Amino acid sequence: MPSVCVIQHVPFESPGVLSEVFRDKDCMVHSVEAPFIREVSGNIRRSEILVVLGGPIGAYEESRYPFLLDELEWIEAHIAGGGIFLGICLGSQLLARVLGGRVYPGGRKEIGWSPLDLTAKGKTSALSHLGNLPVLHWHGDTFDLPPATTLLASTAVYPHQAYSFGKRVLGLQFHLEVTSRDLERWYVGHAAELTGEQNLNISEFRNLGRIHAGNLLPVSRAILREWLEEAMNDDS
């Protein structure tokens, strides 16, 4: 039975669709709250699959959030040991730091639903299932593409949206995991941020979320299942 550790930075940003994918694979899943990762036992740290989710802090803010240093160390050790890794939003930015990329505040926030521009490599990856479907973007930071990684997707606002490091490591700046039900928690959890976005109408944003999250759900399942199967079968 494959073991999975999911690191959450805030309770309302949950694994979402990933929970279903892991259940179908008969995985044993452990959830860890990022601020308390020093308390995690060794057997959980040795999980075969590590997932790091998003959160409203910067990957470079270890002076404010010292646990980030422990998190970076855990990610680095996991990848060095050949483990499977998926980083989403903040998780993808922490991965970029581990792999030698610089993470920093972007020139503007990218919050909303829009499609990705897949690279040639992206079109042959599991992300090809997306086609022109809009995905959820919710970030203000960005990163330089780390050395030895492969860019899979971009947007006009930020060019580094998805990248891989071999077949076992994947970083996604956007959110494939979120469901329309999850989003109701996000609207509350990120209320202060949304209030500060003068060009964003929460009612319209909610309606778009219901439509696009519903359309994306079966595609997200397919993408995550395909990527996980390929990663688990990788012998390199």
Whichever domain contains 134, its CATH number is 3.40.50.880
* Number of residues in the chain: 236
Residue type, 175: H
Q: State whether residue 89 is helix, strand or coil.
A: coil
Q: How far is CA 125 from CA 3, 84, 122, 167, 183, in A?
A: 24, 16, 5, 10, 27
The tally of domains found in the chain comes to 1
pLDDT recorded at residue 115: 98
* Position 199 pLDDT exceeds 90: no
The DSSP code for 145 is: P
pLDDT recorded at residue 103: 98
pLDDT recorded at residue 162: 98
pLDDT recorded at residue 83: 97
pLDDT recorded at residue 221: 97
The pTM of this model reads: 0.97
Greatest Cα-to-Cα distance within the chain, rounded to the nearest angstrom: 49
- pLDDT band of residue 45 (cuts 50, 70, 90) is very high
Task: Report the C-alpha gap between 174 and 113 in whole angstroms.
Answer: 10
pLDDT recorded at residue 97: 98
pLDDT recorded at residue 143: 98
pLDDT recorded at residue 48: 97
Q: Looking at residues 73-86, what average pLDDT do you find?
A: 97
Q: State whether residue 98 is helix, strand or coil.
A: helix
- pLDDT band of residue 107 (cuts 50, 70, 90) is confident
Closest CA to 105 of 139, 142, 68, 138: 142
DSSP-derived pairing of the beta strands 117-118 and 135-143? unpaired
CA dihedral of residues 53, 163, 98, 71 (deg, nearest 10): 10
What positions carry a catalytic annotation? Answer: 89, 175, 177
* Position 236 pLDDT exceeds 80: no
Q: How far is CA 62 from CA 58, 69, 70, 101, 224, in A?
A: 8, 6, 10, 16, 30
- pLDDT band of residue 43 (cuts 50, 70, 90) is confident
Structural domain for 55, as ranges? 3-232
* Position 94 pLDDT exceeds 80: yes
Structure tokens at 152: 């899979």
The helix (H) or strand (E) run that includes residue 85 is: strand 84-88
Choose the weakest-confidence range: 3-7, 92-96, 194-198.
194-198
Q: State whether residue 87 is helix, strand or coil.
A: strand
